[in-house]
Structure 1
Amino acid sequence: MKRRTFLQTSTLLGASLGATAKAASSEPLIIATWKNEKATIAGWNKLMETGKALDGVEAGARIPEADPNDTSVGYGGYPDRDGHVTLDACIMDHVGNAGSVTFLEGIMHPISVARAVMEKTPHVMLSGAGALKFALDQGFKVENLLTESSKKAWEEWKKESKYEPVINIERHDTIGLLGIGKAGEIAGACTTSGLAFKMHGRVGDSPIIGGAVFCDDEVGGACATGLGEFVMKTLGSFLIVELMRQGMSPQKACEEAVMRIVKRYKYKEFQIGYLALNKKGEYGAYAIQKGFNYTITKNGKTQVIESASYM
């Protein structure tokens, strides 16, 4: 029995060391949902500077957050039906630490507030007025995020006040990012201003760990975009990571996560897109509807790739 225990322990240790060596050989990269070259390039540059995947995904998320022409993330985001731009974001590192904010107003970079929640509080999620107070205590400044163009769109919407999610609106939506650092570690982030003209107080999947983003450094990471209610109902990113743990490739895991939705819901009415990455540096993506794409920056080169889809 002692000999058997020794052999089992030696085998497990050898497998562990082999996995670590293989993971460490993965090349650093940043990958993001939708056509987000500026975000992945900024994330890649930061990753190359510090070596850390967490720094890379945060830096990448900050790009659309500050872009007034991006109507689905941060500054310039379409408001809710009451005219408020409310923000959700989350971030997760390679050892399971996570932070998120929901229903946050007036802060340009909710992804950085989410990281502060992760690193400076005993909590995972802060919401609304509490999240804002925390952000101000950390030195963030209140800014008006409702641009004139987004305000005009809201005023036009109010003429009929018809709420109707639009599939692949302007071919971008919530941005989710995954990264592999120089040490082979994986991190993820997600940020959004949510659905245009949503009910005041609505929170989607973007700040939900296991919904919008999930990372496990033994396996890989996943992120989601689209109509968040259905990502939440199936915990899509967590599901994908667990499927990869069971041996599925990132591509097959994304496909299975989409099928879990297709089998139960009226999928023709909305879009969900998933993106996944494993420790080998392999990645995959899949969506319900045509039109989902993603961006990867690796070895200093950036590429936008059209995802396969169920429809």
Structure 2
Amino acid sequence: MKGRKFIKSIPAISLSLLSLLTIYNCVSKKEESSAEEKKEKVQSQITTIAIGTWNFPDAINAAAEVLKNGGSALDAVVEGCKKEEANPKNQTVGIGGLPDRDGDVTLDACVMNEKGDYGAVVGVKNIKHVISLARKVMEETPHAILAGEGAEKFALTNGFVKEDLLTEDSKKAWEDWKVKSEYKPIINIENHDTIGMLALDAEGNISGACTTSGLAYKMAGRIGDSPIIGSGLYVDNEVGGAVATGLGEEVLKTVGSFLIVELMRQGKSPQEACEEAIKRIVSRPNSNYKDFQVCYIALNKKGEVGSYSIHEWFSYNMFKNGETKNIQSDFYLKTK
């Protein structure tokens, strides 16, 4: 009898289970829909931003175009840097970069994405788009940095084109330099230098990139701050990012970009963090900061931006709210 009663109750049990399952699915779908709506609402409130050192309008416009089309922050900064790498008139980046004292153009670059992944190349000859090469190192190798001939070999096996990076203009400048062979940093060389970029995309992610031909007429083999994580560039997607330009040796000694991000983590605004990082440099014992330039830009997760330099005339470009503009940075020596 008990078995018969159980068999008779099976339809009722099944119906109850089906009802519970239906209720669960409805609640689950409602929660998913609510989460999706919340995500869309947050994304709709995000203002996409791109910032880049110095006044490179083509670079910032290229980055802006990526963001306007819904692209990632990483795509934006890479495309922005590529614009200047391909510009032979820019003698501090890519093709046309000023050579070392032996007449060789060597390039450095790095990228850092929202996941904290990092890729860099240093001392690369014959490859124009080293920013793309740095990204490939990050995404397609188990390493973080490739150097010199190894980096060039990796580039050529991955479809990059080998080309002479020394233009006639840069060659002439090098030959003129050899007459006196004076080796010293020039403040605000041609009112521009390394290009570093940061971007905040519609997903709320921050990435950064930095590319350079390094200090003009440097000793062969010299590497500055630009491709070194924490110095020329640092990004923490929970906090923000920072980029440096100027005399790399001084940025390296204070791990400037990492310092700025950590200061922002502690609650400082991007502006306050940039100012503190410059003060760390000028307050070092026996610092001859009046003879060199260092500049920083920073961006946090709220979309707030900051910049600061030692000397006057540093500027940065910014894309925000559909507009691009060049902004003169505040600087340290105005009160000294």
Calculate the TM-score normalised by the size of structure 1: 0.92
The residue matched to 2:69 in structure 1 has which SS?
Answer: helix
Q: Distance in 2 between matches of 1:287 and 1:20?
A: 38
Distance 1:47 1:100 in 2: 23
1:77-226 matches, within 5 Å, as 77-226=97-246
Judge conservation of contact 1:25–1:184 (CA < 8 Å) in 2. no
Paired-residue identity, %: 57
Q: Would you say 1:75 and 2:87 are equivalent positions?
A: no
Counterpart of 1:278?
300
How much does 1:137 deviate? 1.1
Of 20-29 and 59-68, the range deviating more from structure 2: 20-29
Question: Residue type matched to 1:104 in 2?
Answer: V
Cα distance in 2 for partners of 1:111, 1:64 equals 11
Distance 1:183 1:24, change over 3 A: farther
Query: Aligned with 1:67: secondary structure?
Result: coil
CA distance in 2, matches of 1:85, 1:212: 20
CA contact (8 A) 2:259 2:277 kept: yes
Q: Which has the larger radius of gyration?
A: 2
Which consecutive aligned stretches of 4+ in structure 1 deviate over 2 angstroms post-superposition? 18-26, 47-51
State the one-letter code of the partner of 2:65: N
Which of the residues 239, 249, 254 maps onto 1:234? 254
Shift of residue 21 of structure 1?
7.8
Q: Please say if residues 29 and 180 of structure 1, whose CA atoms lie closer than 8 Å, have aligned partners that are also in contact.
A: yes
Q: Does 1:299 align with 2:303?
A: no
Aligned residues: 294
- Alignment partner of 1:66 is 2:122: no
Confirm or deny that 1:39 pairs with 2:39.
no
Distance 2:97 2:254 in 1: 26
Contact 1:190 1:207 in 2 (8 A): yes
- Deviation digits for residues 71-99 of structure 1, max 9, x if unmatched? 10011110000000000000000110010
Task: Note the alpha carbon deviations across 1:255-301, whole angstroms, 9 max, x for none.
Answer: 00000000012110100000000000000000001111000012331
Find the aligned partners of 2:165 and 2:204 in 1 and give their Cα distance.
36
Gaps of 5+ in 2: 1-37
Deviation at 1:20, TM superposition (A): 12
**Larger RCO of the pair (alpha carbons < 8 Å, separation 6+):** 1
Q: Tell me how far apart the structure 1 counterparts of residues 171 and 258 of structure 2 sit (CA, whole Å).
A: 36
Asked if the contact 2:43/2:202 (under 8 Å) is kept, the reply is no
Distance (Å, rounded) in 1 between the aligned partners of 2:42 and 2:314: 31
Change (3 A) 1:19 1:241: farther
Note the C-alpha offset of 1:50: 4.4
C-alpha separation in 2, matches of 1:99 and 1:258: 26
- SS of the equivalent of 1:215 reads strand
Q: Secondary structure of 2:115's match?
A: coil
* Counterpart secondary structure, 1:294: strand
Counterpart residue number, 1:309: 331
Q: Which residue of 1 aligns with 2:26?
A: none
Q: CA RMSD in A?
A: 1.6
Instruction: Report what 1:269 is aligned to.
Output: 291
CA contact (8 A) 1:26 1:279 kept: no
Gaps of 5+ in 1: 1-17
Q: Tell me if structure 1 keeps the 8 A contact 2:86–2:129.
A: yes
Specify which of 306, 309, 316 is matched with residue 287 of structure 1. 309
Task: Name the SS of the counterpart of 1:130 in structure 2.
Answer: helix
Q: 1:131 to 1:99 in 2, by over 3 A?
A: same
The answer to whether the Cα contact below 8 Å between 1:293 and 1:306 also exists between their aligned partners in 2 is: yes
